[in-house]
Amino acid sequence: MTPPTYNLWTIGCQMNEADALRAAALLESAGFRPVPHARDAGLLLLNTCVVRQQAEDKIYSRLTYVDELKRKNPGLVVALMGCLVGKNPREFAGLRERFPCVDLFLPPSDLAPLREFLLARGIAAPLDAEAEAPPPPLPDSMTGRSIVAHLPVVLGCSHACTYCVIPYRRGGECSRPSAEILAEAAALASRGVREIILLGQIVDRYGLDRDGEIHLPELLRRVAATPGIARVRFLTSHPRWITDELISTVAATPGLCPYFEVPVQAGSDAILAAMRRGYTAAEYEALIARIRAALPGAGLSTDMIVGFPGETAEQFEESMALMRRVNPDMIRIAKYSPRPLTYSARHLPDDVPETEKERRRVAMEAQLRAMLTDKNAPLLGQTVEILVETIEKSGRRHGRTPDYKPVFVDGSAAAPGDLLRARITWAGPFSLIAEAL
Ligand code: SAH
C-alpha cells in the first residue's frame, strides 16, 4: 500500500510555524509522507494567519486554488488550521459555509481535532493527547531545519492592544506547565536540536498566570541547562513586562543568547496611548538602555506599525526619530490594517490613505537599510561564533551569531548543529559573509 501523503502550507509568526510543524509531525508519526506540491497530496494542511489583511488575502487565494484541486479530486482532505479558524467552534459553521472544500477545522495550537480525525479514519497516531506525553517528533521533512526549534511556552494573549486580533483568535493567555516544557526541551535535544526558541505573545509573562509556577528567568536557566542545547532564545517581549531580573539572567547564563525582540509599534506617545501599549517612547528608550548596559553587544529587533488611525506625518516622523536613537538590528514594519473585533477597527477610522501608509513604510524601510549598513560595517574583520543551521548548495554554511545576525560561512566543513568561529569578510545590511577560522 502506498503511504498517505500530505502537503503543508503555512504563513505567519513563529508560533504559527511551531503549530504547523507539530501538526506535520503528528501526520508523519501516523504514516503520512510529505510531498512538495499540493496537487500530489492526499491531505492538505493549510495553516493560517490573520494578523494583517494581507495575510488573510493570501489564504483566500490559496483556498481558491485548493477548491480547484478538490473539484478534480473529491477524495482530497483539506485541513484548515490556525488563526483564521480561531478558538470558537460557533464560528466554524460560518467558515464551513464560506469554504465548503474544507473538511477539518483546527484551532491554533490544538491538535485534538486532527487526532480525532485520524482515529475516525482508523489511522493510528501513536501519540496520545496526555499533557505528559512527549512532543511530536520533528517531522522528517524538516530535518534540514531541525537544528533550531520553536517551543511555545505561553499560548494566547490577554493584553488588549487596540489593533491586535490575536486575543480573539488564540484566546486568553495560558502558560504551559514548566514540567511539560522541560520534557519537550529534553526530547528536542535528543533529536539533535541545538537551539530552542521559547515562544509567547508576551513571553516575559511566562508563569504569571499559574499558581506556584516558575517564571521566565528560571525557565530559561533550566532550558539552557538541557544537555545538548547550545543556545536558547525567547520571544516576543513586551516593554511593560521585561524585568531587570530577566535581563541579568540573560547576561549571567551561558547559552542564553544576548538577543531581545521587543516591539515598540510607534514613536509618538499619543499613538502609543491610542494603541494601549502601556508605555511611552522615553520609557522604551530607557528599557533599551538598561538592556545595553547589562549586555553591550545585545541584538535588538522591534516591530513598527505605520499608518495607525489618526497618525499624522509628524507622529510618523517621531517613529523615524525613535528608531534612529534606538538603532535596532531589525525592524519588522507593518502597515496598519483594521482587524475584526478589535477596538481600533470598531472605534477608530482607518483614515491614513493607503498611498500614505505605503510612503511611510518605504521611508522607514530605506532608513532601516541605511542604519543597518552603517551599524554592520564595523563588524568587518571581527570574529563571531556561528551555530550552523544548514548547508547551501554552494557549500556555504548558514547560521546565526548569538545576537541573531544571519551569516554565510565560506571554507568550512562543519555539520549542521556545529558551533564554529569565523571572521566577517563582508557586512551588508541584512546578512553577513564570513570565512571559517
Ligand atoms: N505579541 C506581539 C506581536 C504580535 S503580532 C507584541 O506584543 O507586539 C506581530 C506584529 O504584527 C505586531 O508586532 C504588529 O507590529 C503587527 N500587527 C499586529 N496587528 C496589526 C494590525 N492590525 N495592522 C498592522 N500590523 C499589525
Atom of ligand 1 nearest to the CA of 13: 9
Centre of ligand 1 to C-alpha 13, Å, is 10
The model's pLDDT over 266-287, given as tens digits with 9 standing for 90+, comes to 999 999 999 999 999 999 999 9
Atom of ligand 1 nearest to the CA of 238: 7
Protein residue closest via CA to atom 24 of ligand 1: 336
Atom of ligand 1 nearest to the CA of 304: 15
Centre of ligand 1 to C-alpha 36, Å, is 30
Mean pLDDT of 72-91: 92
Protein residue closest via CA to atom 18 of ligand 1: 164
51 Cβ below 6 A of ligand 1? yes
Number of Cβ atoms within 10 Å of the Cβ of 39: 13
231 Cβ below 6 A of ligand 1? no
Mean pLDDT of 165-174: 95
Taking 50 as the threshold, does the pLDDT of residue 130 lie above it? no
Residue 319 φ/ψ region, left for φ over 0, alpha for ψ in the -120 to 50 degree band, beta for the rest: alpha
pLDDT of residue 104: 94
162 Cβ below 6 A of ligand 1? no
336 Cβ below 6 A of ligand 1? yes
Centre of ligand 1 to C-alpha 338, Å, is 11
The model's pLDDT over 362-386, given as tens digits with 9 standing for 90+, comes to 999 999 999 999 999 999 999 999 9
Centre of ligand 1 to C-alpha 51, Å, is 7
pLDDT of residue 93: 82
pLDDT of residue 132: 46
266 Cβ below 6 A of ligand 1? no
Mean pLDDT of 124-130: 55
Q: Which of 303, 333, 346 to mutate to test the pocket of ligand 1 (most atoms within 8 A of CB)?
A: 303
Centre of ligand 1 to C-alpha 332, Å, is 9
Per-residue confidence band for 412, with pLDDT thresholds at 50, 70 and 90:
very high
- Bridge pairing between strands 77-82 and 43-48: parallel
pLDDT of residue 372: 98
User: Positive or negative CA dihedral for 345, 348, 349, 353?
Assistant: negative
User: Positive or negative CA dihedral for 208, 160, 173, 257?
Assistant: negative
Query: What does pTM read for this prediction?
Result: 0.95
What domains can you pick out in the chain, each with its CATH number?
Answer: 5-130 (3.40.50.12160), 380-436 (2.40.50.140)
Cell of 393: 548548495
Length of the chain: 437
Mean pLDDT of 219-230: 98
213 Cβ below 6 A of ligand 1? no
SS (H, E, C) the chain: CCCCEEEEEECCCHHHHHHHHHHHHHHHHCCCEECCCHHHCCEEEEEECCCCHHHHHHHHHHHHHHHHHHHHCCCCEEEEEECCCCCCHHHHHHHHHHCCCCCEEECCCCCHHHHHHHHHCCCCCCCCCCCCCCCCCCCHHHHHHCCEEEEECEECCCCCCCCCCHHHHHCCCEECCHHHHHHHHHHHHHCCCCEEEEECCCHHHCCCCCCCCCCHHHHHHHHHCCCCCCEEEEECCCCCCCCHHHHHHHHHCCCECCEEECCCECCCHHHHHHCCCCCCHHHHHHHHHHHHHHCCCCEEEEEEEECCCCCCHHHHHHHHHHHHHHCCCEEEEEECCCCCCCHHHHHCCCCCCHHHHHHHHHHHHHHHHHHHHHHHHHHCCCEEEEEEEEECCCCCEEEECCCCCEEEEECCCCCCCCEEEEEEEEECCCCEEEEEC
Centre of ligand 1 to C-alpha 76, Å, is 34
Mean pLDDT of 190-195: 94
pLDDT of residue 145: 56
201 Cβ below 6 A of ligand 1? yes
